[in-house]
Chain A
Amino acid sequence: MGPRLQHHLKDAGLTALVAAGLGIFIVGFRTYDIGKGLTFDYQFVDLGIAIVTIFFGRLGLSLAADGLSWPALALGAVLGAIGASPLKLPSTFLHWFVTLAGLLIVLRTIWPWANHGLAVARHSPRGVPVGQAIAKWIGAALLVVAVILPMTPLGDQKTMDLAVLILTYVMLGWGLNIVVGLAGLLDLGYVAFYAVGAYSYALLSTQYGLGFWSVLPLAGMMAASFGLLLGFPVLRLRGDYLAIVTMGFGEIIRLVLLNWVDLSNGPAGIGSIPGPTLFGVVFAETAPAGKQTFAEMMGIPFSGNQRLIFLYYIILALALVTNFFTQRVRRLPVGRAWEALREDETACKALGINPTNTKLTAFAVGAMFAGFAGSFFAAKQRFISPESFTFIESAIILSIVVLGGMGSQIGVVLAAVLLIGLPEWFRDLGAYRMVAFGLAMVLIMVFRPRGLIAHREPSVRLHPVHRRGAA
């Protein structure tokens, strides 16, 4: 016991020393603007607490790694309690920091147990995967929550706004999942189709007065034809090369929108885009001539939240259509051909599958859903400009797909909630928001390198699953 503990203490001390060296200038000093120049403020107490936390955190982690679970758990609990206690630490961030350190130790300690349990469950008799049953339940629970959310007291303006945003990304994630997750075509320019859908609706509604519901299919078709347009030149490319070209395509669309002022109004964007209507009923404070507002029709006072809830249900429905379509198409020959193409293109060709058609349909179908999402986005924002369709959007959507687990539908939802929701919830952390976000990403990738849900459900089974003991 003695030498091992000594070893761990030495290791933790070394880590703390490194942290002190790194942190002394970053955390220890803070520059202040005093009007006629900069001055220093010293935060050595903060630094000290952080270093002590790191010392004990490292100690706890090495204890856990060494199999000394109980001391590690105790240490984790103490750190967690200190962090969560009303004890006055110099900043909120330190509270978070200490709590997270405690949590991390606890997680690290119970991880092998949990993993073992999962492994046992996964290889249960008849190979019925428990993960899949759980995923099904999570899916059903999430759907119920999603449907009743606006009717609960939680459904205030702020939450609904965030929920609409998250659902938009869920839909985009599901759409991109067809291209990346199923067909295995790494598409870094997915936002281009989103932009095509958004501009289709913006232009057709402001120039020709068409309504949301009639433009929606048109926007999908427009985006799908742009998907074909991108698909043709990249048919021969794979992997990295495909990613580079699709990324370029995304930028081309954005730059065209930025510079073709006659069509898109350039960087100034397109404004006063009408919102969607419900059978001709408008969601606004005052209706244009000959139309009725929702508040008038129902005889209730107008509130901005009504429009938001309506938008929420539209995007929920659109996302569910995307999901339903994907689930269905996976069981069709074309869906299986997409997956086969991802696995081995040469073998596909040998089996008489036309790789050209298969790839093009994947691009077109994926793009179509981005087009739907795009025209919803335009109708919701009522103002769009090329600024909304930068590369970072493609990167976020792709991260959602990869983080969720390639090809997993429920994984996309969880990842979208994490990636879009977390930065919003972490707003209280102020400047440390993105640090927390990065930490969460790193943790996911360390613990679940193949995505949150890496399980793949076969599209067809010879032996039906016996549900006994699975749920």
Chain B
Amino acid sequence: MNGAPLIEVEHLTMRFGGLVAVDDVTFSARPRQITAIIGPNGAGKTTVFNCITGFYKPTVGRLTLRADREYLLERMLGHEIGQKAKVARTFQNIRLFPGMTVLENLMVAQHNKLMRASGMSVFGLFGLKRYRDAETAAIGVARRWLERINLVADADRPAGELPYGAQRRLEIARAMCTGPRLLCLDEPAAGLNPRESAELNALLISIRDGDGIGVLLIEHDMSVVMRISDHVVVLDYGRKIAEGAPAEVQRDPAVIRAYLGTDEGGPDA
């Protein structure tokens, strides 16, 4: 019902020397859907993310993003994936620009748009109107996001001074300020308390429905995954072991085995 997939991951394999971190994984994610990738520690979830966002070059496989045209992500340079294919991501361990203010973090995210408006800095240097207008518009975008994540009052504080939960939200807002088609979130609920976690759920749903983009989510917190995701992909030891709607996946014996261990696995449960 949702039309063509936004991103198709086909036969993705990533080897580090002798270690196969991701082994022949195929799945797709659709626009206006939250696709969750789950799996036990070391299952290769973050490696899949790093391949999609250009931090690793996959050993084998094709990553196709379909938008105005087809982008073959595995052939693009790291920054081009953000710049041209418009895939944005957050990190497992938050990576803000801690010394810069909250607002500046959101302005840096709009770099490419502003860079064009500033005529590669020349117009901006002379304070031309064209650049000033673009900057005002960019501040407007940033302000709207600050309102959504409830950080307007902290806009001029260094991002590193914010409490942990606020930093998580800011990182998502920063990724959204790049104007992405696909948002990849690497454990956004890690370290959040139940109230913050519920706020995050609401934010992600509003991004899915309001902004209408595809969201790819790595998450350990099952309450988040089961409540908000539309589609779940389960990885274990680098392989895809299950895929489907959250309720189906939850009942899948292979998934239960991966998470809880088997009888042969020993007495631990």
List residues of chain A with CB under 8 Å of any chain B CB. Answer: 127, 325, 328-329, 331-334, 336-337, 339-340, 342-344, 346-355, 456, 458-463
* A332 and B124 alpha carbons, distance in the complex (Å): 6
In the complex, what residues of A have CB within 8 A of residue B103's CB?
Answer: 458, 460-462
Residue B71 at the chain A interface, CB threshold 8 Å:
no
B107 and A336 contacting across the interface, CB-CB below 8 Å: yes
Determine how close the nearest CB of chain B comes to the CB of A448; give it in whole angstroms: 18
Determine how close the nearest CB of chain B comes to the CB of A17; give it in whole angstroms: 46
Chain B residue nearest to A459 (CB atoms) is: B104
Binds A, one of B36-44, B78-86, B239-247: B78-86
Contact partner of A349 (CB less than 8 A), chosen from B78, B110, B114, B146, is: B78
In the complex, what residues of A have CB within 8 A of residue B82's CB?
Answer: 349-353
Determine how close the nearest CB of chain A comes to the CB of B216; give it in whole angstroms: 14
A462 and B99 contacting across the interface, CB-CB below 8 Å: no
Contact partner of A456 (CB less than 8 A), chosen from B91, B99, B135, is: B99
Q: List 20 A-B contacts (CB under 8 A).
A: A127-B156, A127-B157, A325-B125, A333-B118, A343-B99, A344-B96, A346-B55, A346-B91, A346-B95, A347-B91, A350-B55, A350-B95, A350-B175, A351-B109, A352-B82, A458-B100, A460-B107, A460-B139, A461-B101, A461-B156
Contact partner of A339 (CB less than 8 A), chosen from B91, B97, B114, is: B97
In the complex, what residues of B have CB within 8 A of residue A458's CB?
Answer: 100-101, 103-104, 156
| Pairs of residues from A and B, 4 with the lowest C-beta to C-beta distance, nearest first | A352-B82, A352-B83, A462-B155, A343-B97
In the complex, what residues of B have CB within 8 A of residue A352's CB?
Answer: 79-84, 86, 88, 111-112, 178
A340 and B115 contacting across the interface, CB-CB below 8 Å: no
Chain B residue nearest to A462 (CB atoms) is: B155
Determine how close the nearest CB of chain B comes to the CB of A362; give it in whole angstroms: 12
Residue B89 at the chain A interface, CB threshold 8 Å:
yes
Contact partner of A462 (CB less than 8 A), chosen from B96, B108, B125, B143, is: B143
Contact partner of B88 (CB less than 8 A), chosen from A329, A331, A351, A462, is: A351
B155 and A351 contacting across the interface, CB-CB below 8 Å: no
B79 and A340 contacting across the interface, CB-CB below 8 Å: no
Residue B121 at the chain A interface, CB threshold 8 Å:
yes
* A287 and B261 alpha carbons, distance in the complex (Å): 94
* A458 and B107 alpha carbons, distance in the complex (Å): 12
A349 and B79 contacting across the interface, CB-CB below 8 Å: yes
* A159 and B55 alpha carbons, distance in the complex (Å): 56
In the complex, what residues of B have CB within 8 A of residue A461's CB?
Answer: 101, 103, 155-156
In the complex, what residues of B have CB within 8 A of residue A333's CB?
Answer: 107-108, 110-111, 114-115, 118, 121, 124
In the complex, what residues of B have CB within 8 A of residue A456's CB?
Answer: 99, 158
Determine how close the nearest CB of chain B comes to the CB of A180; give it in whole angstroms: 14
Residue B174 at the chain A interface, CB threshold 8 Å:
yes
In the complex, what residues of B have CB within 8 A of residue A459's CB?
Answer: 104, 107
A343 and B98 contacting across the interface, CB-CB below 8 Å: yes
Chain B residue nearest to A336 (CB atoms) is: B108
A350 and B111 contacting across the interface, CB-CB below 8 Å: no
In the complex, what residues of B have CB within 8 A of residue A328's CB?
Answer: 124-125, 127
Residue B72 at the chain A interface, CB threshold 8 Å:
no
B124 and A354 contacting across the interface, CB-CB below 8 Å: no
B156 and A336 contacting across the interface, CB-CB below 8 Å: no
In the complex, what residues of B have CB within 8 A of residue A463's CB?
Answer: 155-156
Determine how close the nearest CB of chain A comes to the CB of B54; give it in whole angstroms: 8
Residue B152 at the chain A interface, CB threshold 8 Å:
yes
B88 and A347 contacting across the interface, CB-CB below 8 Å: no
A351 and B111 contacting across the interface, CB-CB below 8 Å: yes
Contact partner of B53 (CB less than 8 A), chosen from A334, A350, A353, is: A350
In the complex, what residues of B have CB within 8 A of residue A355's CB?
Answer: 79
* A332 and B121 alpha carbons, distance in the complex (Å): 7
